[in-house]
């Protein structure tokens, strides 16, 4: 005979890895009294790398939130307490089986007996306790029957009992990872109605999209809802202090380190991009790069820079301070500086130099959408080699960009303006922009930097060179 009991489980701020020791709670998605299920997103936190969502690793009812939104919490600190329903032996059973009782005692403290469920922040790598999916859970009636048998004793642990909470649907819970569950929630898709095609019956993102055929794209709704930004300074005549933390703090530290470590050199060139702008319009009108693929001047600038790097691969390098060596990189991870409500981030397109123009357009569109949503992962920002910053979108002609730490060069793309220009011996209105290339003079000398900038400009002046120079 068993008696239902409720135990209190605590969820700690996970180990964020990457040398980070704290995170700021941006938003709570649950409140005390709410029912939560295994894998449900309960809050969003921001580290110095990115903003990520935390899934709860068990079922139950929220008892308390230990920190408010905006609080910075150390790793390993309890942030939420959840009341978890379980099963414990009735008093008579404990007397009849005194030998078994001590063995069952550790199982009554699941928070200490479940190292395999130790979480890390989404996007920071695999769990340290293993990556295997837990086996499908059986009904509660089967669990007590297995308790007297030594071999399957772990099945009787309270970790298998929460599926009997009243909030759970009848039958087995659909198998899906937390990001897929959130996608289904955003699209209004009931996971119990989705046909799973993943291994071992796991529901994939494609399965969810297929179930929501009338609305296959999830990004647009989220993009239009940027995260909260610090309130503007009011005209009160008083000084206002704005705390700098998270991504903004990390960016400030990185820029100071870069500016005073790498010897910067910046060169400028004005370019007649009339033909490039005409090509952008043509690609938009014809849809040659694919249905729904975003085409912009930045796409052509990126392709021009990648082609210039292919002609001068020595610019794709980094400086190894420990060994005092130049490291020539095997592939170009092209960074795109993105201004987000939480600060400047630089995600990069992996092995961008190997992509076709169409492939680059798709990856660039995905990178921009993800950054706007605040969903860029630390992996997306690691390993960059060369960056583009598009200051032209703000109406700025040019600037002297600071290198992203660890990279050899950064290209600033200024606003495209109609200016008087000498073309075929006559002064006529042409579309002109200014490019500025900053580079680390330890890695790139003046000749190499000038060649990369000149080739980029030459391609934008005559985009047919993308074919002849490829």
* CA pair distance 345, 407, nearest whole angstrom: 14
Rounded to the nearest 10°, the torsion over CA 81, 87, 88, 89 is: 180
* CA pair distance 56, 377, nearest whole angstrom: 19
Element spanning 378, H or E: helix 378-381
Q: At what angle do helices 274-286 and 446-461 cross, to 10 degrees?
A: 50
Catalytic one among 66, 264, 312, 441?
441
* CA pair distance 281, 276, nearest whole angstrom: 9
Q: At what angle do helices 297-311 and 446-461 cross, to 10 degrees?
A: 140
* CA pair distance 422, 428, nearest whole angstrom: 6
Rounded to the nearest 10°, the torsion over CA 90, 92, 96, 97 is: 20
Are 183 and 205 in contact by the 8 Å Cβ rule? The answer is: yes
Contacts of 57 (CB under 8 A, 6+ apart): 11, 38, 39, 114, 117, 119
- Both tokens of residue 147? 């308790």
3-state secondary structure of 138: coil
Is 441 a residue of the active site? yes
Q: Which of 284, 307, 305, 380 is nearest to 340 (CA)?
A: 380
Contacts of 123 (CB under 8 A, 6+ apart): 50, 52, 377, 378, 379
Place of tokens 């899934």: 55
DSSP 326-348: EEE-SS--EEE-EEETTEEE--E
* CA pair distance 389, 470, nearest whole angstrom: 23
* CA pair distance 268, 450, nearest whole angstrom: 9
- Both tokens of residue 67? 């920190």
Are 406 and 451 in contact by the 8 Å Cβ rule? The answer is: no
* CA pair distance 284, 263, nearest whole angstrom: 40
Give how far Cα 139 sits from Cα of 79, 132, 163, Å. Answer: 31, 21, 8
Place of tokens 């979480």: 119
Angle at 20 between CA 14 and CA 24, to 5 degrees: 65
Active site residues: 441
């Amino acid at each position: 005979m068993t008696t239902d009991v409720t135990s209190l489980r605590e969820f700690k701020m996970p180990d964020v890895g990457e040398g980070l020791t704290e995170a700021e709670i941006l938003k709570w998605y649950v409140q005390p009294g709410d029912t939560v299920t295994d894998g449900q997103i309960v809050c969003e936190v921001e580290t110095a790398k990115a903003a990520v969502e935390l899934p709860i690793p068990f079922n139950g009812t929220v008892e308390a939130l230990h920190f408010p939104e905006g609080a910075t919490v150390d790793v390993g600190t309890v942030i939420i307490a959840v009341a978890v329903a379980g099963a414990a032996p009735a008093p008579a059973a404990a007397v009849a089986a005194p030998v078994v009782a001590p063995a069952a005692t550790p199982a009554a403290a699941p928070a200490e007996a479940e190292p395999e469920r130790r979480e890390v922040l989404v996007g920071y790598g695999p769990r340290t306790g293993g990556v295997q999916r837990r086996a499908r859970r059986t009904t509660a009636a089967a669990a007590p029957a297995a308790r007297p048998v030594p071999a399957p004793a772990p099945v009787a642990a309270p970790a298998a009992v929460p599926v009997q909470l009243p909030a759970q649907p009848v039958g087995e819970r659909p198998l899906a990872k937390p990001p897929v569950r959130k996608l289904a929630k955003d699209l209004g898709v009931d996971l119990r109605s989705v046909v799973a095609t993943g291994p071992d019956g796991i529901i994939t993102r494609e399965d969810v999209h297929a179930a929501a055929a009338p609305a296959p794209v999830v990004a647009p709704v989220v993009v239009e809802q940027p995260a909260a930004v610090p309130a503007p300074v009011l005209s009160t005549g008083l000084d206002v202090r704005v705390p700098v933390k998270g991504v903004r703090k990390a960016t400030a530290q990185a820029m100071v380190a870069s500016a005073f470590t790498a010897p910067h050199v910046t060169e400028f060139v004005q370019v007649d991009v009339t033909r490039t702008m005409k090509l952008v319009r043509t690609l938009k009108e014809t849809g040659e790069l694919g249905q729904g693929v975003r085409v912009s001047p930045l796409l052509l600038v990126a392709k021009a820079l990648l082609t210039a790097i292919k002609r001068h691969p020595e610019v794709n390098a980094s400086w190894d301070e420990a060994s005092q060596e130049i490291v020539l990189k095997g592939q170009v991870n092209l960074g795109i500086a993105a201004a987000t409500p939480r600060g400047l981030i630089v995600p990069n397109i992996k092995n961008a130099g190997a992509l076709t123009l169409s492939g680059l357009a798709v990856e660039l569109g995905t990178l921009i959408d993800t950054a706007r949503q605040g969903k860029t992962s630390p992996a997306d920002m690691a390993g960059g080699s060369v960056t583009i910053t598009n200051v032209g979108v703000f109406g700025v002609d040019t600037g002297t960009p600071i290198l992203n730490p660890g990279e050899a060069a950064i290209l600033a793309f200024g606003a495209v303006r109609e200016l008087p220009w000498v073309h075929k011996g006559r002064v006529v209105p042409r579309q002109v922009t200014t490019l500025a290339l900053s580079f680390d003079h330890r890695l790139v000398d003046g000749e190499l930097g000038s060649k990369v900038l000149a080739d980029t400009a030459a391609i934008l002046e005559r985009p047919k060179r993308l074919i002849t120079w490829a």
